[in-house]
Chain A
Amino acid sequence: MIEVEKLTKYYGRLAAIKDVSFRVESGEIVGFLGPNGAGKTTTMRILTCFSPASSGKATILGMDALDDSVKIRSQLGYLPENVPLYEWMRVRAYLEFVARAKAVSSQIRREEVDRVAESVGLSQVMGMLIRHLSRGFRQRVGLAQALIGNPPVLILDEPTIGLDPKQIWEIRRLIKGFSRNRTVILSTHILPEVSEICDRVIIINKGTIIAEDTPANLIRSYGKFSRCQLEVAAPEGEVKQLLSGFDGVNSVKLTSGPEEGRVSALIEASSRPDLCPALARAVTNKGWDLFELRRLHASLEDVFIDLVTEEAEEEASAHEINGKEVA
């Protein structure tokens, strides 16, 4: 269990995080989202006892991050952002060093290293020098060192960055497969990843938490618009006339359909749950052929960009955050 209360960290006069509070129960996988420089890494560094906070309190497994630093660190696995490893070491020697550093007893050290290596798929490269490993294997070595000693708390800073799709899928499966008594915090830039593996999301921007909920709830509460995709066989002018006269419709984007005589339309209406059925009725009343009618769901990406830009607008900040970078 991780509990954070009013955590603040200054670098010089710049506050990297301000009054951050949240709670992660044991068995939970929590995603930490935010644009670059939002304070994700800073928060993680405080939780891993690498760097103390300027003020506030962080409690991990009931112990204070400042007072019981060494005790906490023995219960913790951490994967830093750029996966710093000893290039000159062989994989096995490195993992054995980590096991020794984490005080895994000498009788089970070899087994533990083999077990972890097996679980992240490192077995065939154990004898290789780390500097000769590919990006994907380096990432796995990083994950392996975090997993050694079977720590109940895992803090992973962008665990799937730089991996190919198959490796991403494997790592995600691995994280999802962690036994349910583990507490996992992971930060990421890949939003579908969060919806897929996290129980809960904490969105942080400019050092403060701006949203905290399950991915599904976030999407539900922040999806301001209902959107539909429609494809009918009808003259473009008539379709436009019908749709723009529709109750609650904000905007209509018309494109010519895939075949002659068909029209595609993207309709955005201010929250109206019965938009699709109403459209279907109107189209059939006109006697047009309906080829496609689909409700478009808001994605976490929409929510995220929405939240972050909203925040930026509220603060009338001159710097516009580039939402695309996050995706």
Chain B
Amino acid sequence: MHGFLAVFRKEMSNFFVSPIAYSVIAIFLLVSGFFFWANVSFMSLISLQAASNPMIAQRINLTDVVIRPLIQNMAIILLFVMPLLTMRLFSEEKKSGTMELLLTYPIDDTAFVFGKFLAAVALLLIILVGTFSFPILLASVAQPDFGVILSAYLGLFLMGAAFMAMGTFISSLTENQIVAAAISFGAALLFWVLSWTSSLVGESTGGVLRQLSILEHLESFNKGILSAPDLSFFILFIAFFLFLCLRSLETHRWRG
């Protein structure tokens, strides 16, 4: 991993020197803040109604009304935002020609790919830490279930990292950032909705599609369940696309 830190630091400073990081973080916090506010308002509305009806009161809780929908909404916003963070990782270097110079520095290809990928993941972490103010706010007025919250956040993080691995690979295929963003977004969306069609196709195909779908694997994290198959799905997903990215780099070298 020779040269990893150099690449990582350069990518991080690129995010923060340009308005990329600030705008993405701001938009993400704004939109998810809006959903948080809407969910909390809805919660207070039905709590008022529940005050006169003890039957309903037993069935509503903070996790189901506020946390879970919020996490699901954040996952969808991530789906939109991740391609914006990964699109330039390699395509910008290819377009400007800096890739040629970078590949003649004593940096391992692995360090190169990981430096870029982990810089993007670090940004994802910053975004998620920013949104953690929502559960903390909730904790100041009620008792949210932090077990579920942490597990759901882990799911969000793994999903974001998976999209980023895919985005990093796609960025290494083209020198056009818009193309990289468009393909990354389309591919992420497909992986997201793959399970919706599982009931329309045969039993075995449907099973495979369900296993490949990100939404399906995210579900258990949202319920507060950490299962080995779901964890390993995301880890394999990330490893697979980073491996492809390495191969793509090698192809780039051979093509000169």
Contacts and interface: CB of A to CB of B under 8 A. Distances in A.
Contact of A101 (B3, B96, B255): B3
Contacts of A145: 101
Interface in A17-58: 42, 45, 48-52
Given A97-B6, A97-B9, A103 B101 contact: no
Nearest to A49: B104
Contacts of B108: 70
A42 B18 CA distance: 34
Contact of B254 (A52, A80, A103): A52
Q: What does DSSP make chain B's interface, helix, strand, loop or mixed?
A: helix
A45 B255 CA distance: 11
Contact of A84 (B3, B13, B96, B256): B96
B106 A70 contact: yes
Which of B3, B9, B100, B107 gathers the greatest number of chain A CB atoms within 10 Å?
Answer: B100
Contacts, number: 76
Contact of B105 (A42, A71, A73, A80): A73
Contacts of B96: 84, 86-87
A80 B256 CA distance: 13
Interface in B72-96: 96
A107 to B, nearest CB: 15
A42 B10 CA distance: 28
B226 to A, nearest CB: 38
Given A45-B100, A80-B101, A51 B253 contact: yes
Contacts of A138: none
Interface residues of B, number: 28
Nearest to A93: B13
B6 A45 contact: no
Interface in A75-89: 76, 78, 80, 82, 84-89
A73 to B, nearest CB: 4
Contacts of B105: 73, 98, 101-102
A84 B106 contact: no
Interface string A91-135: 001000110111100000000000000000000000000000000
Contacts of A206: none
Nearest to B3: A101
B98 A84 contact: yes
B173 interface: no
B254 A101 contact: no
Contacts of A51: 253-256
B194 to A, nearest CB: 37
8 contacts: A50-B104, A73-B107, A82-B97, A84-B97, A84-B101, A86-B96, A97-B10, A101-B106
Counting from the closest, the 8 A-B pairs by CB-CB distance are A84-B97, A51-B256, A74-B106, A100-B6, A101-B6, A101-B105, A73-B106, A48-B104
